[in-house]
Structure 1
């Protein structure tokens, strides 16, 4: 399934013109999805319709798919029925997210709505909710999944639980989404804003690392910035993330040679299939640069987890092989050329046999 980037818009808390400017910036950078909250609507049906329809149409013309986050109370407030989703279709939305669920049969029936609206389910519960819906023969192509976000520090999902919840949806081929958080954005749907991530471990991480981690799990198809408005720099950093190849940040050592920098910048690194516990080995570069000299430097110390080394002239046939250290050891035939930042070491677990990867210089 193709991977996407998204932003969040909160029409009941924001300025319409600023929303448009934000959406246009994101569109120009290749973002494709908008999460739009309707949980806080307090005005009548006519005013709500005018407000949301205008911004949704604007986004649609720029190529966005908009999913509206709704709660059961909205149906009473707006005097509409789950049996007729025409109101949301008239707004121009492509789907609705059910913040709260029903009995399974109801959700399955909603996927057959005549407007072709996607029905997005809450993924942040590790129960057989999805399987129950599918047992009622839901129209699966119109069924999406999306995790919650968590504005209170300490309240977001732990990683293992996130994986278990997400795997339920991926096993059935359901399109999945989750949230990362901006550190510049000032608001979300509620009056608490400690960030809006799905994963607690992401709350204080750089925004591009959050996105790289989400995609690296292989469990999330759409990564959405949960709060608004992310800065231009944050939007650009997330847009620059390779959605399909694992990207590792690297801090180069000053003594790294020209050939070592060329090897680091190679875009075709992959971990050998016959893996070792000591290090990740990228061996094709040693073949590509077998005739290029590489004198020893920074080779006498103990290498630590996350160090990136390249074989020097004393390493025989292994000269110019690139390795990422997984267990501390010494080997004077290897030059230290850079280090993966401490906060990015979590990405090392995704370097599986044959994993393709690249480096992003810090």
Structure 2
């Protein structure tokens, strides 16, 4: 599921509503916002602006998660035993930016408001196990990583993977944030981009999202800052969120049949893997009887090249390979029909035995 973040300051109310409508047009179904750091005396102003935006998002059947911490409950004089206030604002769930003691979280999951409880999964603690020890309603618990406005403070890749795997294995629906390169603000005064993974901060937004999809650990992808451009929203909406979809640049003389074999079929890696190539062999059953003459048969194929077995390749005619390690093609049995775009090549490492994947054409 794709989501956006909103910070509906009073002076940006209409711009926020327009952004929600645009995101809904492109199939976005989640909204993240927060009630943190409300200035003393401005509580009602902030709540009124938020309520307008939330109710508008709900008209498009969007989920809306409100980010809170224990101090907000005290500031607004709200009991954690009665979440009616947030329900009446239109929220479908609340996210706890910091923690209670586990028992309170478990009680929240039984609140009659029916709100989901979203926990912070950017930590490697036994927080969730502690909540589980108090017998919560697990159906009402979801998880979301943090985002980081300060450059060089986003999560390291290995740590992100460790935390994400942990919560995913516990059966929690997970979410993480990506950074819009067009947006200019978030919930805080200072922001130098907003993302969960530091390595994503300067990448195109669709590449960030593809990376999260390739990991197969994150269910929902949320744009952390506002306002993403329409081009970015469209780019994310065009992604396959179910599997890796490699952007490819075709060789100039690639035939229509070769393009069809690559673009119009579901591909998956063989289970008996090797170090040199990812082998999509199922397609040869469909195209093995077609005429596939020699075409662009380089003597050496390199990392990121996509090859297709031609007429001279016997029972391997029609087999598609993604090259992982340079190897000779001196017998000219493989046509080099395309190359994976440079900013997608790092995704090759995520193709494991039986991993499904597809291709889409882009211009160089």
Question: Counterparts of 1:209 and 1:317 in 2: how far apart (Å)?
Answer: 36
Aligned pairs, number: 359
Question: Among residues 19, 33, 38, which one is paired with 2:35 in the alignment?
Answer: 38
Distance 2:271 2:220 in 1: 29
Give the distance between the partners of 2:199 and 2:271, measured in 1 at CA.
Answer: 30
1:156 is paired with a residue of what secondary structure? coil
Matched, 1:200 2:170: no
Distance across 2 between alignment mates of 1:85 and 1:140: 18
1:292-322 per-residue CA deviation (whole Å, 9 max, x = no partner) reads 2223233234212111111122212212211
Query: Kindly tell me: are residues 151 and 49 of structure 1, through their superposed partners in 2, closer, same or farther at Cα, counting changes over 3 Å?
Result: closer
| Pairwise CA distance, 1:132 | 0.7
* 1:77 corresponds to: 75
Question: Whole-Å Cα distance in 2 between the matches of residues 301 and 178 of structure 1?
Answer: 43
Is 1:315 matched with 2:333? no
Separation in structure 1 between the aligned mates of residue 360 and residue 156 of structure 2, nearest angstrom: 27
- Displacement of 1:82: 2.4
The equivalent of 1:351 in structure 2 is 351
Q: Alpha-carbon deviations, 1:113-139, whole Å to 9, x = none?
A: 121111111100011111111111111
Match of 1:341 in 2: 341
Instruction: Supply the distance in 1 between the matched residues of 2:138 and 2:196 (Cα, whole angstroms).
Output: 24
What's the counterpart of residue 325 of structure 1? 323
Closer/same/farther in 2, CA of residues 219 and 14 from structure 1, 3 Å limit: farther
Shift of 1:73: 2.7
Of stretches 70-79 and 277-286 in structure 1, the one that deviates more from structure 2 is 70-79
226-235 vs 278-287, which deviates more? 278-287
Taking the aligned partners of 1:175 and 1:330, their CA distance within structure 2 comes to: 45
User: Which whole-Å deviations, capped at 9, do the CAs of 1:4-40 have from their partners, x for residues lacking one?
Assistant: 1100000137611111111111112111110012213
Correspondent of 1:247 among 245, 248, 259: 245
5 Å-filtered alignment, 1:21-100, equals: 21-42=18-39, 43-100=41-98
Q: Which residue of 1 aligns with 2:275?
A: 277
TM-score (norm 1): 0.95
| Structure 1 segment 175-324 matched on structure 2, within 5 A | 175-324=173-322
Deviation at 1:81, TM superposition (A): 2.8
**What is the CA distance between 1:289 and its match in structure 2?**
1.7
- TM-score of the pair, normalised by structure 2: 0.94
Aligned residues of 1:311 and 1:322 also touching (Cα < 8 A)? yes
**Deviation per residue, 1:155-213 (Å, 9 max, x gap):** 11111111111122111211111101111111111233222111112112221121122
